[in-house]
């Protein structure tokens, strides 16, 4: 049985903070959600849009909507409250809630201030707005009803979700909020009087107001530190608290001058983004931490500060980031949900002229990850490229070998940058993404590549089951099975509105079937765009986030809130779910019906309707004999590439009314499990109720030729290579990248010589593979034991699709899945 | 026939067949028949049928497709009358679950080359392609053609051999082979003959010649319970390497007995003398490694690999 990775080299301070964190609900206080209301009887607090993409909670929307209001504390509103514009009302409410109603506490030994940021604050709507909003969301034909039917019929889900972006933190470190305020003031003064009275003026005033919030809150923390320092008897701690009082009195209002100030400024600024979005924002990410923090690190080292102490500050930062999970502290056993935060940061990577940018801070942060892991947040992404230094690869491989797999995600610059540059062309934003700055990309959420500080990336806002198009092509647009309302349990009676692509029994060859499939892909993309656009319009009109807007370039300049398309870059990703199941299903139709004629189309359709009952032999052929994606089989992979290219091109065609361009992505969070129960059996041999394929990974067990062939297939379907690629010779259809998880046999890390082999694999992946890779190294026996005795494995971390979760908390289905994958591995 | 070879299998991302990450191609047919052989399907020089009972769903498509009546069906699965099999393998083609599988397929150099270079990017500075078997040098002309093509493409090449072929076969591949992985199983000629079907005279002579011709060598010794696992045998091999090869080897691996091939024997309808043999003990392997290294200047040359049981 393998040994679990344990944290090491933790000072008593950090050990205590870490242990205390893991006490969960037994802590004296935590970061559970607190609600605040205007006091209006019909007040809206709960942000259901952010949960449209979380099907597990769809049935609780009414309950949440009510209970949030019932338990909410009333804010003190000024008399002219409803005369102010909505963004100003919103900024006012958030600011009052966090600065005046939440206590400020500092844990023993903690070196950073800022907790209890998880609050749900009234949408601050007036009567008229409330009525219109509630009707459009909850009424007949409203976004909620349509979204639930969309999900129930196996299309997927979508919703304008919070988080998933990288705010412009470096500017705050450099200028402080005081600098921002001055800048906004100048912009405001340039507005005409009409503009000042209109939306632009409202938004800018709200942003200016928002910049006061971190300052007011920091001041309170400063007072608390001073109070604690006064009564502290330990001189060392007294000194720390005194310094913390000084720091919080200064930042984030003023520029940071050293590493401690920078970390405090960063945490406070970041934490309040999660406050502003009313949900501990999934995927609010830090960007290239080792790059923009480096000057402060250098300064502190030059000032003679101890590197170990600077590490302590980073470790406190890690603990603070983990408190995002307190939002779900009592319900955190639901599949996937516990893993939903994804405050990412990137390390290393290319710079200008192909130079590697690894620095001392990169290694320091890697040390912190190594010493602290297993821990969930923040999530590191290490960027690799063909000039990555040996020392970095050695460290990466060493960390993979002592942890249970990689305690970080690996990002691959060449393929990733190809995607970003393709995006620049497709969306006509070469002004903001070009060869001179593309290397500044970073990742949000799980692995989604975006630009930093100016990109409303909205990754995972749309999750579309590509397999639905196969079902529609097989049914002349009419669906193969009846679908049921997940809230009321009633069958849907409305007929499918999908195009009639013809009775597939009359198709003479695979090409005709494939053409029908493409028509259906066009349709399902259009449908998700339509649904998303309606919800996005509502968010833009009723749910401003002025604080976040003050932190994203373009919003102040355009006088638009970020929800209204204010950022310089505005995108919505449609994540293609079930890619491999879809490709394998097409391959199986071709093989079974047309190439080998093992059955007629009529028989295949009957088999799928009957969930393969009575068709066991045909199903065995589909599973075992039909070609599959993920084996480095050029023909199969070429079909995969064609599907990828087509569907990504379809996505580029659309924009929201707020000006956000759609783009294709490939990430499945946990939908490949849930949708597996909804969608009918598929031609690849999958039964209804079996899982779908995950992100860009081959169907589980299909990659019989091992990790290299699997990786080659991934690279090929992303576009492979071309003489004139998007970046160098790399082509990448998916600008956000694609989630790829590989489980390696422990033999690749068993000794020094074998670690070199793992390095060789990584170098190969840089050349041939995809954009991002999660490496797991697990053995089945350990997992089975963990399933039986979860109490012994509380810290066993598994990573799936680039999100990580504690094994004990992910639910039996996913556990079984991971065990099955482990057991199939050749020895 | 040197333009095609009978290929058993290709394994990609192999970490155990030479330096770096490698793609290993197994050619079918062997001049030895070691009693412990863990690739029994690699011995015969013709394609063979395997039946994996656990995959069979009893659809009878194999039986119905066989023109020779070589397959019969009964309550516990199928029986193959191998004497009536003409080798058309329609049965395997028909089998929807791949319970029936054909081992051995003829491939040309060009076909193989295309498959072997797919992982080029992962080979890095050290990795490459290993030609293994069976005994790959039975098909020496083919091997030479393939290795030359790989070498021309700048790919590191290795040949994994049991050595029981004429030296002329080695001479054909030597110019295009970066490294030989060479088995020494037993020093006692009579026991060698009894357990592998041939004595070791030619094997040892070839090895001395190779060392003199400057080949890079990795020696491998399967450590088989009751057969090769005596300290005496290991010490005798160490003596040979020390005196006859003047330690001109890069490493010597003691490969602990592997019992995972049990199911392979069952699939081929064969009994296996080592069906119930236990894995080697870790302590025994450590002891053998130190016995082996005792005579060497560079102790680090010797190591053991494979699954072992801990006391």
Q: Is A1 on the interface with B (CB under 8 A)?
A: no
Strands ordered across the beta sheet of A119-121: A73-74, A34-37, A119-121
Those residues whose C-beta lies under 8 Å from the C-beta of residue A781, and which sit 6 or more positions away, are A1
Element housing B249 (H / E): none
pLDDT at position A823 is 60
pLDDT of amino acid A821 = 61
Site of tokens 């169907």: A699
Give, in order, the Cα–Cα distances in Å from A515 to each of A525, A606, B219: 16, 21, 58
Dihedral angle computed from the Cα positions of residues A610, A611, A614 and A620, in that order, rounded to the nearest 10 degrees: 150
A300-309, A497-506, A789-798: which has the minimum mean pLDDT?
Answer: A789-798
Q: What is the pLDDT of residues A629-651, one digit of tens each?
A: 999 999 999 999 999 999 999 99
pTM: 0.94
Q: What confidence tens digit (pLDDT) does each residue in A58-78 have? A: 888 999 889 899 989 999 999
Stretch A553-570: mean pLDDT: 98
CA angle A790, A794, A799 (to 5 degrees): 100
User: Average pLDDT for residues A565-572, to the nearest whole number?
Assistant: 98
Q: What is the ipTM of this complex?
A: 0.95
Residue-wise DSSP of A105-172: ---TT---------EEE-----HHHHHHHHHHHHSTT-HHHHHHHHHHTTSEEE---S--B---HHHH
Round to whole Å and give the CA distance between A739 and A736.
Answer: 9
Instruction: Enumerate the β-bridge partners of residue B273.
Output: none
Number of A:B CB contacts under 8 A?
73
Q: Does B94 touch chain A (CB under 8 A)?
A: no
Q: With beta carbons less than 8 A apart as the criterion, state whether A201 and A483 touch.
A: no
Say how many C-beta atoms besides its own lie within 10 A of residue A509's C-beta. Answer: 10
In sequence order, the β-bridge partners of residue B223 are B256
pLDDT at A800 over 60: no
For residue A607, list chain B residues with Cβ-Cβ distance below 8 A. Answer: none
DSSP conformation letters of A553-609: TTHHHHT--GGGT-SSEEEEEEEEESHHHHHHHHHHHIIIIIIS-SS-HHHHHHHHH
- CB contact (8 A) between residue A760 and residue B96: no
Q: Which two tokens stand for residue A362?
A: 């990169």
Q: Chain A 586-625, CB below 8 Å of chain B: which residues?
A: 616-618, 620-621, 623-625
| Distance of alpha carbon A733 from alpha carbon A79, whole angstroms | 53
Q: Kindly state whether A636 is in contact with chain B, defined as any CB-CB distance less than 8 angstroms.
A: no
User: A761 and B16 in contact by Cβ < 8 A?
Assistant: no
E strands within B75-189?
77-80, 100-103, 105-108, 128-132, 156-161, 179-183
Provide the token pair at A18: 């870490």
How far apart CA A821 and CA A703 sit, in angstroms, is 11
Token pair of A264, please? 């405090």
Question: DSSP E strands: which ranges in A290-397?
Answer: 344-347, 379-384
Burial class (CB in 10 A: 0-12, 13-18, 19+), B20: buried
Q: What is the sign, positive or negative, of the torsion defined by CA atoms of A302, A303, A308, A309?
A: negative
Domains of chain B as residue ranges with CATH = 4-44+105-305 (3.20.20.70), 48-103 (3.30.70.20)
Q: How many CB atoms lie within 10 A of CB A827?
A: 7
What is the DSSP pairing of strand B128-132 with strand B179-183?
unpaired
Q: Which of A384, A386, A397, A617 to mutate to test the interface with B (most CBs of B within 10 A)?
A: A617
Task: Please name which of A80, A69, A79 lies closest in space to residue A39, comparing C-alpha atoms.
Answer: A69
> How high does pLDDT run on average in chain A?
92
Nearest to A744 by CA among A766, A759, A733: A759
Q: In which band, very low, low, confident or very high, does the pLDDT at A597 lie, cut at 50, 70 and 90? A: very high
A759-793 in b/e form (b: 16+ CB < 10 A) is bbbbbbbbbbbbbbbbbbbbbeebbbbbbeeeeeb
List for chain A the helix, strand, coil content (%; round to 5).
Answer: 50, 10, 40
User: pLDDT digit string (tens) for A71-103?
Assistant: 899 999 999 999 999 999 999 999 999 999 999
Residues of chain B positioned with their CB less than 8 A from the CB of A761: 13, 21, 122
Element (H, E) at A698: none
Query: Looking at the predicted structure, is the pLDDT value of residue A4 above 70?
Result: no
Query: Above pLDDT 70, what percent of chain A?
Result: 93
Q: Does A704 touch chain B (CB under 8 A)?
A: no
Check B119 against A709: CB less than 8 A apart. yes
Report residue A558: phi and psi, to 5°. -90, -10
- Convert the pLDDT of each residue in A159-172 to its tens digit: 999 889 999 999 99
Check A617 against B12: CB less than 8 A apart.
Answer: no
Of the two residues A25 and B29, the one the predictor is more confident about is B29
A705–B12: do the CB atoms touch at under 8 Å? yes
pLDDT truncated to tens, each residue of chain B (311 aa)?
A: 468 999 999 989 988 899 999 999 999 999 999 999 988 899 999 999 989 887 899 999 999 999 999 999 998 889 999 999 999 999 999 999 999 999 999 999 999 999 999 999 999 989 999 999 999 999 999 999 999 999 999 999 999 999 999 999 999 999 999 999 999 999 999 999 999 999 999 999 999 999 999 999 999 999 999 999 999 999 999 999 999 988 889 999 999 987 767 777 888 888 999 988 888 999 999 999 999 999 888 888 999 987 777 75
pLDDT at A806: 63
Chain B residues whose beta carbon lies within 8 Å of the beta carbon of residue A745: 15
Cβ of B12 within 8 Å of Cβ of A709? The answer is yes
Asked if A743 reaches chain B (Cβ–Cβ under 8 Å), the answer is no
CB atoms within 10 A of CB A631: 19
Given pLDDT bands bounded at 50, 70 and 90, which one contains residue A797?
Answer: low
Query: What is the distance between the alpha carbons of residues A32 and A71, in angstroms, rounded to a whole number?
Result: 13
B59 to chain A: which residues are within 8 Å by CB? 616-617, 620
- Residue A293 CA to residue B162 CA, distance in Å, equals 59
Of A32 and A174, the one with more pLDDT: A174
B13: closest chain A residue by CA: A708
Cα-Cα end-to-end distance for chain B: 51
Under 8 Å between Cβ of B163 and B206? yes
Output the pLDDT for position A514.
Answer: 98
The pLDDT assigned to B311 comes to 58
Taking an 8 Å cut-off on Cβ atoms, the answer to whether B21 and A757 are in contact is yes
Q: Rounded to an integer, what distance in angstroms lies between the CA atom of residue B26 and that of residue B20?
A: 18
Q: Do A760 and B260 touch (CB under 8 A)?
A: no
Query: pLDDT at residue A336 above 60?
Result: no
Q: Helix, strand, or coil here: A334?
A: coil
Structure tokens at B197: 């079907």
Which of B95, B124, B128, B262 should one mutate to test binding to chain A, selecting the residue with the greatest count of A CBs within 10 A? B124
Task: Name the residue facing B124 among A709, A753, A763 (closest C-beta).
Answer: A763
CA dist B160 → B26, B47, B217, B252 (Å): 9, 21, 10, 13
Which of B12, B20, B260 is closest, CB to CB, to A708?
Answer: B12
Q: Which residues of B touch A827 (CB under 8 A)?
A: 260
Both tokens assigned to A592:
């079974």
User: From CA A555, how far away is CA A200, in angstroms rounded?
Assistant: 10
CB contact under 8 A, B59 and A616: yes
Residues B45 and B58: beta-carbon distance below 8 Å = no
Is the pLDDT at A777 greater than 50? The verdict is yes
Instruction: Note the pLDDT of residue A796.
Output: 67
Q: Say whether A760 and B119 touch across the interface (CB within 8 A).
A: no
């Amino acid at each position: 049985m393998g040994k679990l990775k344990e944290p090491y080299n933790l000072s008593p301070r950090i050990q205590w903070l870490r242990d205390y964190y893991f006490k969960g609900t037994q802590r004296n206080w935590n970061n559970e959600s607190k609600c605040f209301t205007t006091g209006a009887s019909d007040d809206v607090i709960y942000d259901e849009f952010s949960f449209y993409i979380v099907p597990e909670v769809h049935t609780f929307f009414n309950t949440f909507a009510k209970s949030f209001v019932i338990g909410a504390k009333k804010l003190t509103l000024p008399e002219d409250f409803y005369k102010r514009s909505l963004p100003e009302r919103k900024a006012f409410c958030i600011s009052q809630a966090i600065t005046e109603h939440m206590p400020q506490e500092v844990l023993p030994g903690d070196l950073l201030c800022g907790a209890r940021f998880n609050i749900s604050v009234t949408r601050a709507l007036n009567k008229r707005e409330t009525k219109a909003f509630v009707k459009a969301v909850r009424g007949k034909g409203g976004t909620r009803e349509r979204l639930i039917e969309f999900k129930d019929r196996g299309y997927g889900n979508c919703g304008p979700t919070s988080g998933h972006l990288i705010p412009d933190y470096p500017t705050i470190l450099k200028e402080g909020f005081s600098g921002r305020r001055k800048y906004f003031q100048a912009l405001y003064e340039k507005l005409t009087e009409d503009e000042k009275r209109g939306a632009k003026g409202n938004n800018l005033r709200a942003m200016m107001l928002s910049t006061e919030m971190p300052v007011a809150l920091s001041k309170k923390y400063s007072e608390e530190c001073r109070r604690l320092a006064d009564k502290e008897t330990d001189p060392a701690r007294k000194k720390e608290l005194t310094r913390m009082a000084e720091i919080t009195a200064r930042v984030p209002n003023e520029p940071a001058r050293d590493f401690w100030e920078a970390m405090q400024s960063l945490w406070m600024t970041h934490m309040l983004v999660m406050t502003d979005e009313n949900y501990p924002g999934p995927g609010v990410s830090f960007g290239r931490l080792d790059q923009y923090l480096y000057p402060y690190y250098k300064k502190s080292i030059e000032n003679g500060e101890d590197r170990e102490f600077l590490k302590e500050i980073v470790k406190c930062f890690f603990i603070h980031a983990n408190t995002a999970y307190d939002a779900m502290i009592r319900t955190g056993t639901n599949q996937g949900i516990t893993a939903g935060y994804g405050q990412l940061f990137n390390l290393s990577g290319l710079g200008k002229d192909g130079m590697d940018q690894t620095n001392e801070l990169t290694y320091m942060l890697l040390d912190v990850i190594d010493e602290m892991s297993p821990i969930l947040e923040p999530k590191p992404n290490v960027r690799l490229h063909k000039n990555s230094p040996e020392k970095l690869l050695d460290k990466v491989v060493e960390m993979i070998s002592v942890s249970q797999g990689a305690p970080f995600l690996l990002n691959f610059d060449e393929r990733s940058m190809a995607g970003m540059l393709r995006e620049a062309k497709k969306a006509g934003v070469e002004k903001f993404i070009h060869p001179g700055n593309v290397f500044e990309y970073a990742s949000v959420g799980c692995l989604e590549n975006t630009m930093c500080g100016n990109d409303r990336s909205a990754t995972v806002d749309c999750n579309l089951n590509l397999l639905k198009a196969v079902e529609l092509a097989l049914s002349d647009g009419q669906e193969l099975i009846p679908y049921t309302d997940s809230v009321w349990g009633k069958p849907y009676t409305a007929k499918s509105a999908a195009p009639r692509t013809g009775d597939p029994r009359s198709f003479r060859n695979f090409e005709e079937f494939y053409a029908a499939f493409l028509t259906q892909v066009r349709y399902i993309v259009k449908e998700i765009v339509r649904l998303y656009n309606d919800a996005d319009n509502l968010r833009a009109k009723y749910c401003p986030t002025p604080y976040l807007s003050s932190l994203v370039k373009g919003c102040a300049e355009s006088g638009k809130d970020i929800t209204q398309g204010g950022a310089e870059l505005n995108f919505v990703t449609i994540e293609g779910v079930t890619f491999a199941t879809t490709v394998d299903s097409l391959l199986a139709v071709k093989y079974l019906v047309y190439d080998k004629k093992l059955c007629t189309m009529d028989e295949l359709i009957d088999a799928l309707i009957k969930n393969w009952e009575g068709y066991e032999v045909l199903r065995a052929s589909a599973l075992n004999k039909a070609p599959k994606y993920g084996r480095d089989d050029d023909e199969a992979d070429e079909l995969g590439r064609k599907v990828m290219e087509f569907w990504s091109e379809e996505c580029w065609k659309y924009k929201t009314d707020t000006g956000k361009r759609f783009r294709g992505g490939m990430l499945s969070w946990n939908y490949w499990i849930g949708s597996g129960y909804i969608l009918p059996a598929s031609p690849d041999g999958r039964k209804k109720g079996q899982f779908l394929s995950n992100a860009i990974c081959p169907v589980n067990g299909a990659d019989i030729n091992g990790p290299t062939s699997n990786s080659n297939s991934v690279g090929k379907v992303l576009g492979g290579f071309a003489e004139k690629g998007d970046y160098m010779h790399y082509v990448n259809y998916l600008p956000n990248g694609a989630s790829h998880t590989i489980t390696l046999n422990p033999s690749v890390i068993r000794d020094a010589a074998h670690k070199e082999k793992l390095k060789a694999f990584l170098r190969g992946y840089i050349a041939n593979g995809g954009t991002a890779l999660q490496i797991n190294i697990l053995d089945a026996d350990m997992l089975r034991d963990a399933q039986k005795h979860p109490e012994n494995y509380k810290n066993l971390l598994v990573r799936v699709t680039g999100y990580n979760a504690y094994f004990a908390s992910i639910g039996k289905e996913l556990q079984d899945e991971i065990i099955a994958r482990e057991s199939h591995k050749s020895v | 026939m040197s333009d095609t070879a009978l290929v058993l299998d290709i394994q990609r991302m192999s970490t155990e067949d030479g330096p770096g990450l490698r793609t290993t191609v197994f050619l079918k047919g062997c001049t030895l028949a070691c009693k412990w052989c863990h690739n029994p399907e690699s011995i015969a020089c013709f394609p063979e049928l395997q039946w994996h009972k656990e995959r069979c769903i009893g659809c009878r498509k194999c039986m119905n497709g066989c023109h020779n009546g070589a397959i019969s069906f009964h309550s516990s699965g199928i029986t193959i009358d191998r004497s009536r099999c003409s080798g058309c393998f329609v049965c395997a083609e028909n089998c929807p679950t791949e319970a029936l599988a054909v081992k051995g397929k003829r491939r040309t150099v060009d076909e193989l080359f295309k498959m072997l270079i797919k992982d080029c990017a992962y080979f890095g500075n050290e990795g490459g392609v290993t030609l293994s078997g069976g005994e790959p040098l039975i098909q020496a002309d083919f091997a030479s053609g393939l290795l030359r093509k790989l070498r021309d493409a700048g790919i590191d090449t290795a040949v994994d051999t049991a050595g029981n072929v004429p030296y002329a076969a080695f001479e054909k591949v030597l110019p295009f082979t970066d490294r030989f992985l060479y088995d020494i199983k037993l020093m006692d000629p009579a026991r060698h003959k009894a357990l592998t079907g041939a004595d070791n005279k030619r094997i040892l002579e070839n090895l001395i010649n190779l060392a003199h011709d400057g080949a890079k060598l990795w020696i491998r010794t399967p450590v088989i319970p009751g057969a090769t696992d005596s300290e005496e045998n290991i010490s005798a091999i160490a003596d040979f390497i020390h005196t006859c090869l003047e330690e001109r080897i890069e490493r010597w691996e003691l490969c602990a007995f592997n019992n995972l091939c049990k199911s392979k024997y069952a699939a081929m309808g064969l009994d296996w003398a080592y069906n119930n043999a236990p894995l080697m003990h870790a302590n025994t392997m450590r002891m053998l490694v130190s016995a082996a290294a005792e005579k060497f200047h560079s102790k680090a040359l010797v190591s053991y690999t494979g699954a072992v049981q801990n006391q």
